[in-house]
Amino acid sequence: MLKQGEPWPNDGNWYLADYQHEFITAQDDVVLGIMGRGSGKSMMAGITIAKHLKEGASGMLLAPTFEACDVTLNVVCEVLEASKTKYRHQRSKHYIEVKKTGSRLYYRPTESDKGIRGKTDLSFLVVDEAALCKRERYLEALGCLRGKIKFRRIYLITTPKGRGNWVYEEAMKPNARLIIRKTTDSPFLDAGFYETLESMYSGDFLDQEVNAAWIDINACLLYNESDYDKMSLGNAMHKTGKIN
Ligand SMILES: Nc1ncnc2c1ncn2[C@@H]1O[C@H](COP(=O)(O)OP(=O)(O)OP(=O)(O)O)[C@@H](O)[C@H]1O
Ligand SMILES: [Mg+2]
């Protein structure tokens, strides 16, 4: 595991939190990062994408809006530049292409129903703010993971929005690798950030946004990491974050 100040190989001076490292290096078909606000999810998504692009794999980034896509895309570009990887950004067509490998990242907002179908040869799909994305667009994008691909991997990254949300269903599937962390697990945030959230949020909403708990706000249902032991899912999943 990388220590603070130790550079992430070939990606500039990136120190990764243990859970970011676990996420980025996961080899599972479906990897879910269920984490509190500000825990470094978009950073993790961007570094994951840059790694695959440099390996020569193409993929797609989904986020609720173009503005949300930009947050993750900025990290991708920053990492590529830090590692002196040349790329061109086709802004009108909404993709970036790494010159050496020819691999592309298409970025699409799920608020639009355009530009997802028809893409092929994609090895990975990254969905940032997944719980706020439309499931229909996600399902459309899944159909692009085909053709001449190097591997097939799906990454869902989000602060949870209850068990009624589609991401919960994905997280419960047997092939999913689940990594759950709280905002307070982040080594990058000052204590003031948490205190601000704590003063502004309360109760179930605070638990959802900071502790990454599965809460159906309206139904007042609570299901968080500490409940895993008590429930039938059992110890193995709690310890490894993986559903067997
Ligand atoms: N590996 C890292 N190295 C340095 N800083 C980091 C790292 N990961 C995250 N950060 C910093 O932590 C802060 C939050 O990161 P980020 O925006 O990725 O979190 P997030 O979980 O996506 O937030 P939100 O819940 O608002 O979407 C940012 O200031 C970011 O620069
Ligand atoms: Mg984010």
Digit-coded pLDDT (tens) for 83-131: 899 999 999 999 999 999 999 999 999 998 888 998 999 999 999 999 9
* Total number of residues shown for the chain: 244
Cα-to-centroid distance, 40 and ligand 1 (Å): 3
Q: Which amino acid is at 132?
A: L
Ligand at minimal distance from the CA of 188 is: 1
Model pLDDT for residues 184-196, shown as the tens digit of each residue? 999 888 888 888 9
Class of domain 20-182: alpha beta
Give the dihedral sign, CA 47/62/170/212. Answer: positive
Pocket probe mutation, ligand 1, options 2, 25, 42, max atoms within 8 Å of Cβ:
42
pLDDT digits (tens, 9 = 90+) for 121-168: 999 999 999 999 999 999 999 999 998 888 999 999 999 999 999 999
What is the per-residue pLDDT across 42-86, written as a single tens digit (0 to 9) for each? 999 999 999 999 999 999 999 999 999 999 999 999 999 988 999
Q: What is the mean pLDDT of residues 203-210?
A: 93
pLDDT at 243: 36
Query: End-to-end CA distance of the chain, in Å?
Result: 24
Band (202; pLDDT cuts 50, 70, 90):
confident
Name which residue sits closest to atom 19 of ligand 1, judged by CA: 40
Q: Is 12 in the pocket of ligand 1 (CB under 6 A)?
A: no
Distance 207 CA to ligand 2 centre (A): 18
Q: Ligand 1: which residue has its CA nearest to atom 18?
A: 40
How many other CB atoms are there within 10 angstroms of residue 119's CB atom?
Answer: 21
Strand partners, 124: 59, 153
Please list the residues that pair with 242 across neighbouring strands.
Answer: 177
Q: Which residue's alpha carbon is nearest to atom 15 within ligand 1?
A: 40
For 61, phi then psi, to 5°, come to -110, 125
CA 19: distance to chain centroid?
12
Arithmetic mean of pLDDT, 200-229: 76
Torsion of the alpha carbons at 111, 140, 154 and 53, rounded to the nearest 10: -80
Strand partners, 106: 60, 95
**Which helix H or strand E contains 72, and what residues bound it?**
helix 66-82
**Pocket-testing residue among 2, 43, 48, ligand 1, by greatest number of atoms within 8 A of Cβ:** 43
Q: Where are the domains of the chain?
A: 20-182
CA of 128 to the centre of ligand 2 (A): 7
